[in-house]
């Protein structure tokens, strides 16, 4: 009985103590949310009432990156500096003017030089895609594209980052997310901004026939995300790993037609 009363008193005492203040993990990135950023309505239908939800035909963002701007040149310089000094955290939005950062829709292929980077911070970006060269960031352990609301998918090559263990992704912003099951854009998508020069699986250069595109949902660090595969053959597609339970069970090209598990399936 004494122990019961002691436990009850301790509980009451804790309830009257000052609450513990949690540290803001993104306080260094606060400037990017202080200005208006480009937005999209691709997945807005998921916020409609479930029975009245009507998905539009989705098309991947393929706006080209303006490489003539001072913002792009600044980003290239930041990548070079990070590669040269061997830093372990790369947060370009923190080092760029907030307005500059909103004009960046993709990272440069030179991120392949960031061999020492362990944490890639893309908080609050206006990115619409990430280049496959992210797979060459051999020491990447943590990936944080949180609140990058136009970033709906990731390149399959990110699975080559074997040390990647932690991620912070805005789930509602990605295709096929478990919360609302938005559809995928139908493949192929042939914009030059989306196409790749090499096979995502075996790294072979594509010949005249080009790539075979597939969607696959896989666990990347701590999030299941939609990955775009550029394959050179059916053999390479067959080598893709199995998706986790309660996601589309095999690589696919379909858009709205693909049958996804329901939201209820995920929680049951």
Task: Give domain status of residue 25, yes or no.
Answer: no
What pLDDT digit, counting tens, does each position of 198-220 carry? 999 999 999 877 899 999 999 99
- Whether 241 is in a domain gets the answer yes
pLDDT at 2: 44
* Domain count across the chain: 1
Angle CA 266–151–94, to nearest 5: 120
- Is residue 169 within 8 A of residue 146, CB to CB? The reply is yes
Rg (CA), the chain: 21
Give the C-alpha separation, 183 to 249, whole Å.
15
Enclosing domain of residue 234: 68-267
Give the tokens for residue 180: 């609302």
In a domain, 45, yes or no: no
Q: Classify residue 177: in a domain, yes or no.
A: yes
Structure tokens at 88: 């372990």
Residue 16 resides in a domain: no
CA distance 262 to 203: 35
The string of DSSP codes covering 138-176 is TT--EEE-TT-TT---EEGGGGG-TT--EE---GGGSTT
Burial 200-237 (b: 16+ CB within 10 A, else e): bbeeeebeeeebbbbbbbbebbebbbbbbbbbbeeebb
Task: Please report, for residues 74, 178, 238, 240, the alpha-carbon distance to residue 235 in angstroms, rounded to integers and kept in the order given.
Answer: 41, 29, 5, 9
- For 84-123, write each residue's pLDDT tens digit: 999 999 999 999 999 999 999 999 999 999 999 999 999 9
Does the residue 168 lie in any domain?
yes
Q: Does the residue 158 lie in any domain? A: yes
Residue 160 maps to a domain:
yes
Tell me the pLDDT of the chain (268 aa) as tens digits: 444 455 555 655 655 555 544 455 556 666 666 688 899 999 999 888 877 788 889 999 999 999 999 999 999 999 999 999 999 999 999 999 999 999 999 999 999 999 999 999 999 999 999 999 999 999 999 999 999 999 999 999 999 999 999 999 999 999 999 999 999 999 999 999 999 999 999 999 998 778 999 999 999 999 999 999 999 999 999 999 999 999 999 999 999 899 999 877 666 6
- Sign of the Cα torsion 219, 225, 229, 235 reads positive
Residues 88, 116: contact at Cβ < 8 Å? yes
């Amino acid at each position: 009985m004494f122990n019961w009363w002691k436990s009850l008193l301790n509980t009451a005492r804790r309830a009257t103590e000052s609450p513990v203040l949690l540290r803001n993990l993104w306080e260094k990135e606060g400037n990017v949310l202080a200005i208006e950023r480009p937005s999209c309505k691709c997945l807005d239908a998921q916020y409609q009432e479930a029975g009245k939800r009507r998905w539009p035909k989705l098309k991947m963002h393929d706006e080209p990156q303006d490489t003539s701007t001072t913002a792009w040149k600044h980003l290239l310089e930041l990548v070079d500096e990070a590669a040269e000094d061997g830093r372990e955290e790369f947060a370009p939005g923190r080092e760029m003017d907030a307005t500059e950062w909103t004009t960046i829709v993709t990272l440069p292929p030179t991120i392949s030089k960031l061999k020492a980077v362990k944490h890639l911070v893309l908080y609050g970006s206006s990115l619409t895609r990430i280049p496959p060269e992210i797979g060459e960031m051999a020491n990447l352990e943590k990936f944080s594209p949180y609140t990058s609301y136009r970033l709906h998918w990731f390149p399959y090559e990110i699975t080559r980052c074997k040390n990647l263990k932690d991620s912070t992704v805005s789930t509602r912003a990605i295709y096929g997310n478990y919360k609302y099951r938005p559809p995928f854009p139908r493949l192929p998508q042939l914009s030059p901004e989306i196409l790749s020069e090499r096979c995502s699986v075996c790294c072979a250069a594509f010949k005249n026939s080009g790539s075979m595109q597939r969607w696959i949902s896989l666990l990347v660090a701590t999030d299941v995300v939609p990955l775009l595969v550029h394959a050179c053959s059916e053999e390479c597609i067959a080598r893709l790993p199995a998706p986790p339970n309660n996601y589309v069970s095999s690589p696919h090209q379909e858009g709205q037609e693909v049958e996804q598990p329901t939201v209820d399936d995920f929680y049951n």
